[in-house]
Amino acid sequence: MQFLKLNQVNKSYGEKVLFKDLNMTISKGQKIALIARNGSGKSTLLRIIAGEEAGEGENASIEIATNIKISFLKQEPEFQKDDTVLDAIYDSENPKIQLLKDYEKASILNDQDAIQKIMLAIDDLKAWDFDAKIKETLGKLNIKNLQQPVQQLSGGQRKRVALAKLMIEEPEFIIMDEPTNHLDLDMIEWLEEYLSADKITLLMVTHDRYFLERICNEIIEIDNGNVFTYRGNYSDFLEKKAARIENEAANFGKLKKLFKKELAWVRRQPSARGTKAKSRVDKFHDIKSQVKSHNPDEEMQLHVQTNRLGGKILEAHAIGKSFEDIKIVHEFSYKFRKGERLGIVGPNGSGKSTFINLLTKRLRPDSGKIVVGDTVTFGYYHQEGLNLETDQRVIDVIRDVAEYIPLDKGKKLTAEQLLERFLFPRPQQQVYASKLSGGERRRLYLLRVLMANPNFLILDEPTNDLDIITLNILEEYLMSFPGCLIIVSHDRFLLDKLVEHLFILDGSGNIKDYNGKYSEYRQIKKAEKYALPKEEKVVSEEVVDQKERKKRKNKLNNLEKKINQLEEKKKNIEKKFEDTSLEMDKIQELSKELQQINSELEETENEWLELSED
C-alpha cells in the first residue's frame, strides 16, 4: 500500500534552492531517513509532507493515502499554552485514550464516584491493556509529574512528552525530526526497538547512525539541491555514496582540466564582443561555477597543533556534590592522563553536566577538591549553545576568539578557512548568526570553541542538531586531537568511535569507570540482566510474586465492584417489570438488556471465582 507520493516538489527561499523536482514514494512498512547538511531543507521537507508548509512547482503534487493515521514529531514540539503534561499526552480523539485521561484526572482529584463509573467504561472498551502500555511508555521516557504545566518544561522534557503522545496514539505513518535529541541512551535503545517493528512506516531526519544502520531500509540524501536515493541501511549508503563520489571525481577531473584550459583562453582575450567569443565566455563561467560548487566531504579535514600538556593535568580528590537530598557525586577521585579519551554516560537527571561543571571549576564541590594543571586550556562546548550579546556576522563570531589557529608543520588556518572547512562558504560568512538554522548555529558554536585551540576538550552533547556530514568532519578532527577529550553524549556511534573508557553515572552519586567501548558495556549489562546469580534470582522472583499478588488483589477488588454494580443494574430492570402498563416493545427491550446483564454478571463472577482460587 502506498502511503505517500511526491511529484516534482521544489522549495527555495529567495535565491537559495533547497531542493528541485523532488520525487519520493513511501509504501507501507518502509523506513526512510533523510540526510543532508544543516540548512539544506530536511526539516522543511518534513513540514511540507506533514502539511504544515507549502511546496512549490508548477507541476508539484503531494498525495497522501486516506484513512491512515499520521503523527509528526517536530524538533521543537508545540503545545496549547495552558496544557498540563496530562492534557498534552492524552490529547487524542481515540475513545480509549479519552477514558484513560478522565480516569487519571479523577484519580488525581480522588473522586471515587467518577473513578467507579470510568472503570466500568474502561472495562467495556477493554482498555486496561492500553493503560498498561501508556504507563510503560511514560515510565521509559521518565515522565512522572502529569500535573506539571508544559510551559514549565525544559526543551528536552517537551520533546519526551511529544514522543510519548505519538507512541500512545499508535500512528500507522510516523514522521520524526531528530527523535533522539534529549533522550538518554536507555531511552534511545528502547525507541530503536519500538521503531524496528514491521508494522511501522517511518520517515525521519536523524544523525543517529546506529538508527540508520539498524532501522532504515532506504536513505535519501539532499546535496546541493539535488536528491539521491540509496536502497539499504547506513552501511549501504556509505558504500553507494563512495561509488557516486568516485564517479563524480572522475568527471570532475575532466572538468578541472577543461576549466584550466578555458581560464587560460579567457585571460588571453580582450573583452569579448563577437557571438562565438561571448558563448565561449558564458561556457567558461558555467564550468567555473561547477568547479567552485564541487566540495567533496572527504577533503574537509583539520590537523590543529595544540599547546603541550604538562605533567599535572586534571585531578579530582574525593569530591562530593549534592543538591538538597539528591546526591550527584560521592567521594570521587581520579587523575587524568595525557591523551585521555573518555565518555560520560548515564540516565537523564543523573548529573552528567553537573559533574563536568565540577571538573572545570564552574561549580564548587561540597567536599574534596579539583586541581587543574597550569598548562591546561579548556575548550568547553556545553548544551546551552551559542549566546551572543549582539547579533554578529558569522566571520566576526569566530574572529572574536582568534584570527587564526596553528596547524602542523608551522602552517596556519585563518578564521575564514576554518569556517570553510566546516561548511560555511565565504558568502555565508557574511550572514548574521541570527539567520542561521539551529544546526548551523551549533556548528558555529563548535568552531568558536575549537578556535581557542584548547588542549583539553569537553563536549557536552555535541551531536544534537548537527548533520552527519559535520559529525564526520568533527570525528576526523577528534581522532587526531592530541589533547585530552571528554564527551558527554547519547550518540552511541560517536562514543564507540572516539572514546576508550567510560564514566557511568547511576544517578545516586556513584561513578563507575568502565574500560572499553559503550557497545561492549551494553552487551555486558544485557548479559548480566539475563544471567542473574541464584541468590538474586530468588530475590527477583519474590519481588515478582509480590507484584503479582498485589495485582491480583487489585483485580479482585475491581471485579467485586463490578459485580455489585451489575447486580444493582439487574435489580433496577427487574423493578421496571412491575409496571403493568409496559408496552410489548419496552418489555422486549428490557428483557434483552436484562439478558445481557445476566450474561456479563455470570462471566464476571466466574472470573472472580477463578482468580480467588489461585
- Whether 468 shows a pLDDT value over 90: the answer reads no
At 298 the pLDDT is 41
Segment 40-63 shows an average pLDDT of 85
Write down the mean pLDDT value for the chain: 83
Q: How confident is the model at residue 281 (pLDDT cuts 50, 70, 90)?
A: low
- Whether 299 shows a pLDDT value over 50: the answer reads no
pLDDT tens digit string along 6-49?
888 888 877 778 888 888 899 999 999 999 887 788 888 899 88
Contacts 24+ apart (CB under 8 A), 558-564: 558/119, 558/123, 559/604, 559/607, 559/608, 559/611, 560/608, 561/116, 561/119, 562/119, 562/120, 562/123, 562/604, 563/601, 563/604, 563/605, 563/608
Segment 424-452 shows an average pLDDT of 87
CB atoms within 10 A of CB 597: 17
Tell me if the pTM is above 0.85: no
- Whether 187 shows a pLDDT value over 80: the answer reads yes
Rounded to an integer, what distance in angstroms lies between the CA atom of residue 200 and that of residue 30?
8
- Whether 435 shows a pLDDT value over 60: the answer reads yes
Rounded to an integer, what distance in angstroms lies between the CA atom of residue 571 and that of residue 470?
73
Measured on CA atoms in the order 566, 571, 576, 580, is the torsion positive or negative? positive
pLDDT tens digit string along 386-411?
777 778 899 999 998 889 888 777 78
- Whether 476 shows a pLDDT value over 70: the answer reads yes
At 543 the pLDDT is 55
- Give me 281's grid cell: 565566455
